[in-house]
Structure 1
Amino acid sequence: MKRIFLSLCLLAGMVLVGFAQKRVLVEAESFDHTGGWVIDQQSFDVLYSSYLMAHGMGNRVEDARTTVEFSDGGRYHLWVRTKDWAPFPTGPGAFKIHVNGNPLEVVFGQSGDAEWDWYYAGEVDMKAGENELLAEDLSGFNGRFDALYFSTDKDDAPVNDNEALLKVRKELLGLTDGPEEVGNFDLVVVGGGMAGTCAAISGARMGLKVALIQNRPVLGGNNSSEIRVHLMGRVDQNHYPKLGRIVRELDNGDPGNGNPDAARYGDERKLQIVRAEPNISLHLNTHVYDVEMDGNSIKAVIGRDIATNQEYRFEGQYFSDCTGDGTLGYLAGAEYRMGRESRSETGESLAPENPDDFTLGTSNLWASLERDQPSGFPETPWAIQFSDEYHIDDYKADWQWETGFGNFNTIYEAEQIRDHNLRAIFGNWSYLKNEKAEKYSHHELAWVAYIGGKRESRRLMGDHVLTQMDIQDGVMYPDGAVTATWTIDLHFPDAKNSRYFEGEEFFAGTKHIKVQPYTIPYRCLYSRNIDNLYMAGRNISTTHVAFGSTRVMRTCGMMGEAVGYAAFVAKKNNASPREVYNLHLNEFMGIIESPVNIYNLPTLPQN
């Protein structure tokens, strides 16, 4: 009964058959018991909502259940917002809704339409008081729904436009009075991957009051158990050897990519380290989707809990965009780039002749395990089809399982990218299980990522844009703060994969161009036009080519450490991030060279 809102009136004074019209919105992600369904927020920036998904890897998942209270019983019309995620011509995402123990006749998720829409489920009898809703998965192959909408008026079909629907959500969820105030912070870090986690810890240990906001239940981003990418980049070849110590503290060893043992990625270790910091206010499951501006400065960010839909407001003096997608910077109006620059613009030999929208792709890793007993796997006519001529003969995935490459927008088509990856994974596994049973009969899928591991999207522009020449020439700028060691590693579609799936590639190749350890200037870590915005991670100020080297997670973690130190210098001197470079660079670089201990710090000025 919690986490839902019953709206009794559509408009003041509206009358329908002698009584006020009633509307009820039940958000799927707010179900009291999600069972085997998972909460997916990856498309929040498109849908302005999370949704529930039955990610069973071919096995039906446990039902999701909730209760909703109606002030008056009676007949209601019901709509379900869903889609057919793999309509080739009809996808596998079938599910049913039960109301008070009665399954509705309509089977959802098999419409043949890949777009989100409201589907009419018919009339239902609702009791005054508590009513039970249940979502029953019928396939185990990623059926999904966003919300349930009840109305006493059949003509009151809900709107489907995402922005218009946001207003309806706010009204029916009781969010129109504004978000709950969390507090005023010295540093608000948005994004809890390696970069954001390190920035929060670094700033907190320097005495800053820090809010760390992460839109998933775990920290670590691509290095979490949800995505399972191992840490790359070196922390032992630094020009400043003490930078990277927080990265080492969070490092749980090298389990490789896509290891089926979730514990190897150290989710709990990361959480314990952050929760041990008295200056960090940690907010998991909170997606930042709005900002308040004061001129060219960010005043506050607004986040929504991805499960309860409660909204929160975080005010701050400095902000750091560690989202990877540059979400905070984009909302604030920061200058950014996305895609590849031309060779004539940057002078880089590795840049293309003409600029384009090409970006590195997103991976959904997977792994199988050998069991004592043989197992089957269903045919998947809705998935990508494989053959003796072309299939991928392996027990697990590595980084090459990748979709994007300019064929999809990695931000606004994140759901389609993930779904394309799933069609490739399930289609290939079905082929292996059914056509190569002598090799794979005793193997079964142990884990498939449903959260996409992104590589590239927006890059926020700073006062310096790192280039290929900066890297290969080893230019040592006076503000060279973070030592990077990874190759220039730019992915592209695998040639054979392109031959069979042109325009829909899901397998990558690369060519590693070795570099000597080089430094990333501090000026790449703050926005050139938003006065109090830092950034750390894969969205820092680089060209596409240079990004191929800076993007790996140990390097991103060191960026976060540097941002925490810079925010301390800015706070101490009441300076902007740019003024730290112009007026206080020696102080900042002194901390980079030998990070100080919080107990030896001077008293920081108060807001």
Structure 2
Amino acid sequence: MTTTPRSSPSVHGLGAPVPGGVADRLTTDVLVVGGGLGGVAAALSALEAGRRVVLSEEYAWLGGQLTSQGVPLDEHSWVEQFGVTARYRRLRDGIRDYYRRCYPLTEEARGETALNPGNGMVSRLCAEPAVGVAVLEAMLAPHRAAGRLQVLQPAVPVRARTEGDRVRDVTLRLEGRGREVTVEADYVIDATELGDLLPLTGAEYVTGFESREQTGEPSAPEQAQPANQQAFSWCFVVDHVEGEDHTIDPPHDYEQWRTKQPDYWGAPMLSLTGPDPRTLETLTRTFTPHAQTADQVADQAQNPGDRELWTFRRILDRANFRPGAYPSDVVLVNWPMIDYLDGTLVDVDPEEALAHQAAARRQSLSMLYWLQTEAPRADGGKGFPGLRLRGDLTQGPDGLAMAPYIRESRRLLTVGTVTETDLSIEHKGHARPFTTHDSVGVGMYRVDLHPSTGGDNYLDIASTPFEIPLGILVPRRLENLLPAGKNVGTTHITNGAFRLHPVEWNIGEAAGSLAAFCLERAVTPRAVQATDGLLTEFQSVLTNTGVELHWPDVVGY
């Protein structure tokens, strides 16, 4: 069976050229489609298990939400001690080491074991997107040199061929080159941001909000709402140079964005006022260029960190560097005000998807123009004309991030599903971790659903730490397709806890390791999940490569 896509790829930044020697047809052990965090982790784990890998990526940068989408690491409170994989820790350590090697840090900052280059309040490791790219490329470099890894970039999937319940090959379009490459692989891993391989392969999947009858979740609606999906955002980076005027031209529809106000927002979206994600009460934040966080430690369990927007997602704090090295801090804008609510990118006409992307960019540019011209200042004035759009640090269209920040994907129907009742502290009556016999890793984040295209406000549910079940990686039917991102077997609700950086990475590691394990043992993923002996053996493989399968027995969850 051959199928064609129902939606188009996203608008691209300029991509690195594909090597001239790429053949029109390739054969490999594992094909990973999508080079975000889950895709890179899947490729690394399969490569380090001795397998050949072809990795494709739509944008010029590998790394997805960390890099092309621009968003610094969203992590749990114990990340410096436990609760992530050894490979993910290599990524974190690599980012810190890159700053120590290449940047003019102060001696105090250089000596910080837990260096946070941006001192942002959202994460204990806030850094520039390009640094994440450099570290990920370095992690893959030995495998490129050995010839075990081939990267097709920028490339998007356009067709897939299946025979029975197996995916035989996937055809990728090499963007900007007028060519297609068909890759035949024993295992195909979908690590795309929107689950693009699911419709191409005929896989069974779900989108949007399931009904309460389908999932048994108390927060689910009575009727399923497939088109009701979390907002995506087009992030951007700014700094502030006092005395200079960097005001942009407003988008042609600026007045439309300036007055847009959902019923539950409490003010126009282009303002510093909006709903508190946890309480839903109307909250007015502050925006103070070069505000400092003093000795505060980023810990969203104690402090959401978003009351002062300058420091919320700051990715470079000039106080960490020698005096005069930088004229300004550098800040990533990923705030509620740029959540795009007017449509989805999943299973819509290609032209409609492109129109939504363009509108989302105009919404973000409108937010920047509002900050430059209308935002309230402490001195009673309006606007910060010294705000400078740093497109040089993101390399995306209109000076914004290279790619839209995606929160919700198509979700594969799998042999297991994690639901709200598995994670909700209120439902469970305690905060001890959710456990499962088929654990392939761990994660932790509140169920954090942003406003949706169906008109819903935030949904925030206090959640327990959790183990990642192998069952949410195993399709109900297809034998050799594995998910490695937001397309695993969660629900619309529990996706809000599984979509963050370290969980996506862990899922990707598990998928790549599972493909390699199945090839080595000549078994199927479904057999591994269902057979105690195989499952125990596979879990031992994961443990030996530094994957934590269980949360430690500590006080304080």
TM-score by length of 2: 0.67
**Does the alignment pair 1:359 with 2:229?**
yes
Per the alignment, residue 409 of structure 2 pairs with 457
Supply the AA of the counterpart residue of 2:32: V
**Distance of aligned partners of 1:361 and 1:402 in 2 relative to their CA distance in 1, 3 Å threshold:** farther
SS at match of 1:565: helix
Structure 2 residue 446 is matched with structure 1 residue 580: no
* Matched ranges for 1:286-365 at <5 A: 286-356=155-225, 357-365=227-235
Distance 1:294 1:368, change over 3 A: same
Matching residue's letter, 2:244: Q
Out of 216, 233, 236, which is 2:75 matched to? 233
Q: Deviations over 1:477-536 (max 9, x none)?
A: 22122211111111126xxxxxxxxx898xx96353222221121011121111111111
Distance, in Å, in 1 between the alignment partners of 2:214 and 2:513 is: 33
- Pick the aligned partner of 2:140 from 245, 269, 274: 274
- Structure 1 residues 434 and 484 mapped into 2: Cα distance closer, same or farther (>3 Å)? closer
Question: What does residue 392 of structure 1 align with?
Answer: 271
Following superposition, the deviation at residue 423 of structure 1 comes to 2.3
The aligned residue for residue 589 of structure 1 is: 539
SS at match of 1:266: helix
Give structure 2 stretches of 5+ with no counterpart: 15-21, 97-115, 261-266, 273-286, 288-309, 311-331, 376-380, 392-399, 548-557
Structure 1: state its 5+ residue gaps: 1-43, 55-178, 494-502, 598-607
Alpha-carbon offset, residue 261 of structure 1 = 7.7
Deviations 1:140-160 (A, max 9, x none): xxxxxxxxxxxxxxxxxxxxx
8 Å contact 1:222–1:229 — kept in the other structure?
A: yes
Among 51, 57, 65, the residue aligned to 1:222: 65
Contact 1:569 1:587 in 2 (8 A): no
Q: Is the 8 A contact 1:333 1:530 kept in 2?
A: no
Between the two proteins, the alignment pairs up a number of residues equal to 417
SS in 2 for 1:441: coil
Out of 48, 51, 56, the position equivalent to 1:205 is: 48
Q: Is the 8 A contact 2:6 2:199 kept in 1?
A: no
Matching of residues 458-477 of structure 1 within 5 Å:
458-472=410-424, 473=428, 474-477=433-436
Q: Partner of 1:195: helix, strand, or coil?
A: helix
For residues 509 and 248 of structure 1, do their structure 2 counterparts lie closer, same or farther at Cα, with a shift above 3 Å needed?
A: farther
Report the 3-state secondary structure (helix = DSSP H, G, I; strand = E; otherwise coil) of the residue aligned with 1:527: coil
Inter-partner Cα distance in structure 2 for 1:438 and 1:243: 44
Deviation digits for residues 42-78 of structure 1, max 9, x if unmatched? xx95686887899xxxxxxxxxxxxxxxxxxxxxxxx
Quote the residue 1:425 is aligned against. Answer: 364
How has the CA–CA distance of structure 1 residues 521 and 439 changed in structure 2, closer, same or farther, with 3 Å as cutoff?
same
Which residue does 1:481 correspond to in 2? 440
Whole-Å Cα distance in 2 between the matches of residues 562 and 309 of structure 1? 34
| Kept after mapping to 1: 8 A contact 2:66/2:129 | no
State the one-letter code of the partner of 1:418. Q
- Report which of the two has the higher share of strand: 1
Moved more, 421-430 or 537-546: 421-430
Which residue is 2:290 aligned to? none
The aligned amino acid for 2:60 is: P
Alignment of 1:17-28 (within 5 A): none
Q: Does 1:382 align with 2:253?
A: yes
Residue in structure 1 matched with residue 344 of structure 2 by the alignment: 408
CA distance in 2, matches of 1:201, 1:270: 10
TM-superposition CA deviations, 1:80-132 (whole Å, max 9, x none)? xxxxxxxxxxxxxxxxxxxxxxxxxxxxxxxxxxxxxxxxxxxxxxxxxxxxx
Q: Is the 8 A contact 1:459 1:538 kept in 2?
A: yes
* Aligned residue number for residue 441 of structure 1: 385
SS at 2:168's partner residue? strand
Q: Following superposition of structure 1 onto structure 2, how do residues 511-526 of structure 1 map, counting pairs within 5 Å?
A: 511-526=459-474
CA distance in 2, matches of 1:180, 1:461: 34
CA drift of 1:407 comes to 3.7
Are residues 338 and 46 of structure 1, via their aligned partners in 2, closer, same or farther at CA, if it must alter by over 3 Å? Answer: closer
Structure 2 match to 1:34? none
Q: Hey, what's the Cα distance between the residues in 2 that align with 1:551 and 1:52?
A: 22
- Aligned ranges 1:165-176 → 2 under 5 Å: none
> Cα offset for 1:439?
3.7
Cα distance change of structure 1 residues 186 and 587 upon mapping to structure 2, 3 Å threshold: same
The equivalent position to 1:193 in structure 2, one of 28, 36, 39, is: 36
**In the alignment, is the contact (CA less than 8 A) between 2:7 and 2:347 conserved in 1?**
no
Deviation digits for residues 281-314 of structure 1 (CA, Å, limit 9, x no counterpart): 2222111111121211011111111111221111
Cα contact 2:442–2:503 (8 A) shared by 1: yes
Post-superposition Cα deviations, 1:440-497, rounded to whole Å, max 9, x if no partner, equal 132232232252111112001111111112224554222122211111111126xxxx
Query: Which SS does the other structure have where 1:386 is aligned?
Result: helix
The structure whose residues are more often helix, as a share, is 2
| CA distance, structure 2, for counterparts of residue 304 and residue 349 of structure 1 | 43
Question: CA separation in 2, counterparts of 1:373 and 1:219?
Answer: 34
Matched residue type, 1:197: V
State whether residues 370 and 383 of structure 2, in contact with CA within 8 Å, keep that contact through their aligned partners in structure 1.
no
Distance 1:387 1:560 in 2: 41
Q: Give the direction of change, closer, same or farther, for the CA distance of 1:429–1:586 in structure 2 (3 Å limit).
A: closer
1:532 aligns with 2:480: yes
Indicate the structure (1 or 2) with the bigger Cα radius of gyration. Answer: 1
1:211 counterpart SS class: strand
Displacement of 1:352 in angstroms is: 1.7
* Cα distance in 1 for residues equivalent to 2:204 and 2:537: 28
User: Which residue matches 2:307?
Assistant: none
- Mapped contact 1:537–1:560 kept (Cα < 8 A): yes
Partner of 2:87: 246
Distance in 1, Cα, partners of 2:47 & 2:247: 51
Match of 1:564 among 512, 516, 540: 512
More displaced stretch, 481-490 vs 44-53:
44-53
CA contact (8 A) 2:30 2:188 kept: yes
Q: Give the root-mean-square deviation of aligned CA atoms.
A: 3.4
Distance 1:309 1:467 in 2: 43
The verdict on how the C-alpha distance between 1:421 and 1:571 changes in structure 2, with shifts beyond 3 A counting, is same
**Percent identity between the two aligned chains:** 23
Q: Distance in 2 between matches of 1:250 and 1:301?
A: 29
The aligned amino acid for 2:73 is L
Q: Is the 8 A contact 1:214 1:284 kept in 2?
A: yes
Amino acid corresponding to residue 386 of structure 1 in structure 2: R
Which structure has more RCO (C-alpha within 8 Å, separation ≥ 6)?
Answer: 2
Distance 1:596 1:434 in 2: 50
Q: 1:303 to 1:373 in 2, by over 3 A?
A: same
User: Which TM-score applies when normalising by structure 1?
Assistant: 0.62
- Residues 11, 403 of structure 2: 8 Å contact kept: no
| Cα contact 2:73–2:126 (8 A) shared by 1 | no
Contact 1:362 1:410 in 2 (8 A): no
Query: Shift of residue 398 of structure 1?
Result: 2.2
